[in-house]
Chain A
Amino acid sequence: MMRSVRLFFAKPATIVAFAVFVAIVVIALAAPLLFARGPFTIVGMPLLPPGAPGLLAGSDVLGRDMAVGLAYGARISLLVGIASSIGAVGIGILFGAVAGYYGGLVDELLMRVTEFFQIIPSFVLLMVLVAFLQPSLGATVIGIALVSWPQVARVVRGEFLSLKAREFVQAARTLGMRDSRIILTQILPNALPPILVVGSMMVGSAILTESALSFLGLGDPNLLSWGSMIGGSRSAMWVAWWTTVLPGLAIMATVLSLNFISDRLNDALNPRRQR
């Protein structure tokens, strides 16, 4: 465990990524304390550039403080990213574990379902889901979880298939352990590192997906997110670059730091790299 932690922080880039991510989390948590008036309050003239008095990041098309919007947007991005990834990992583990452990017809059936969700264009399905459920935070989270779980399921199934064949799992069966105990105490702990890596990668891609949905106007209309900030400023892009550039950079910084972290997580948890 200590070894993994040390390996994780072995590269300076990881420390930077980790610091960026922690900063974003802190901003997201502190947003209501720092800006109690909320992101929708109009504070001045529209399209004031960054650095205008009292406006660190300028104002948007409606004269709202961009800095407040960016801080509140972090809440939505992180919330959606983490909640939908947890959902996807949950469904994925369930499907993958059952398919991989029991094999045979059950496996065949579950894998066909997984394949189906992988083949159909997931973003279009997501648009359909959210449009039909009516755009809301809940619909976004559920929708993203529903289209992202197959990836987890495949990884989990692969791990379970190979671990199931390992002799220590067979030994557990000959010792008379129950299936549920074998899955929970023998297989799952060993399958956890790759699941953790896929899960952390997924947070990043879920944030991207959320921003795309909001950009298209399919986000929760009562919440301001980075994607909807960009979508709402499209017409102003030519005259006020900051209205689109800043939220985009915010998304990029968040996702990039997350991906760096999961990449290092992969290296640190990969037993093949540990001698």
Chain B
Amino acid sequence: MNRLQYIGKRLVMTALVTLAVVLLSFLMIRMAPGDAATVMAGQAGYADETFMKNLRAEYGLDQPLRVQLWKYLSAVAQGDLGTSYVRRQPVLSVILERLPNTLMLDAFALAVAIAGGIWLGSIAARRPGSAGDGAVTTLSMLFYAIPQFWLGMMVMLVFAVWLNWLPPFGIETMGADYTGLARAGDVALHMILPGLTLALYYMASYARLTRIAMIEVAEQEFVKTARAKGITERQVARRHILRNALIPLVTYAGLQASILVGGSVLVENVFSWPGVGTLAYEAVIGRDNPLLLGIFIVTSILVSLFNLATDIAYSLVDPRVELG
């Protein structure tokens, strides 16, 4: 099986995941107590029988399940995720407008988490049981146990309120009307607190995993061979231990992405970052089910595409991978 076939297969898998996500969404709609008509009637403020009937007819809710499912699928396929109750706009355009902000924040957090985590993990793995190892292990356990939203609030309290070093809210300074580089700098400044808050948890898990992977690799025979060659310890660690330990971390990045989206919902919320996460919160508060489902569908597709990318990356870094 060559690489192209492999990628093709992963693409099919991604498509299947997407289809399953959409089916799940449809199931959710059907499962919810009351249908869309009740909700809309509730929002309209009154609900007599004929009004409900007309609404149901208008939205095709009186048709057989099969027909409804087909309609739903073809609508989603055309990018029609329905209309947001609260915003009275197409769900997709509402999401797409917010998406770049979330992608920016998440990419920043993931980059910091991976780089910092691998660095800390390799320090810890160099001498298992040493003080450095103990510090990294304890810190990663601590960040594992702190609720992310609460960490965000504490960070905000300390760095934005008490120390007044960094802006506490939003993506840019309101009313400042910066342009060009100044604006980019302003956004970057706003991104530091939410970005680091988001990154810390994942950094902790990366540090932990890197440490375990490196300690495991260090016990293998080929590391002894490397030492027997007479290369320096530094070269042994970099070329042989780290090189092999990084392989499982690539796959892990894919799995992390799905958790990162969840963290993003919370952290964006705390820092009023105008991304998809805050939108999800608005959807929950406003009982805006189409918007919530739309966010679920869009983020699922994005995460499974990211997993596709890490799968391909994995097949590139590990020559042993049987592309299947």
Contact = CB atoms under 8 A, between A and B. Distances in A.
Tell me if chain B binds chain A: yes
A255 B148 CA distance: 13
B255 interface: yes
B147 A119 contact: no
A252 B145 contact: yes
Contacts, number: 136
A241 interface: yes
Given A251-B147, A252-B145, A123 B154 contact: no
B33 to A, nearest CB: 7
Contact of B292 (A118, A127, A230): A127
B84 interface: no
Interface of A: 112, 116, 118-129, 131-134, 204, 208, 211-212, 215-218, 227, 230, 234, 237-238, 241, 244-245, 247-248, 251-252, 255-256, 259-260, 263
Interface residues of B, number: 50
Contact of A251 (B150, B258, B280): B150
A119 B303 contact: yes
B28 A128 contact: yes
B150 A230 contact: yes
Nearest to A134: B33
Given A121-B303, A124-B299, 17 more contacts: A119-B17, A119-B255, A119-B303, A119-B304, A119-B307, A123-B265, A132-B28, A132-B29, A132-B289, A133-B32, A212-B148, A234-B153, A241-B157, A252-B146, A255-B144, A259-B144, A260-B141
Given A217-B284, A237-B153, A263-B141, A125 B296 contact: yes
A124 B255 contact: no
A244 B262 CA distance: 21
B147 A218 contact: no
B301 to A, nearest CB: 9
Contacts of A227: 147
Given A212-B147, A238-B161, A116 B17 contact: yes
Interface string B253-270: 011001101110110010
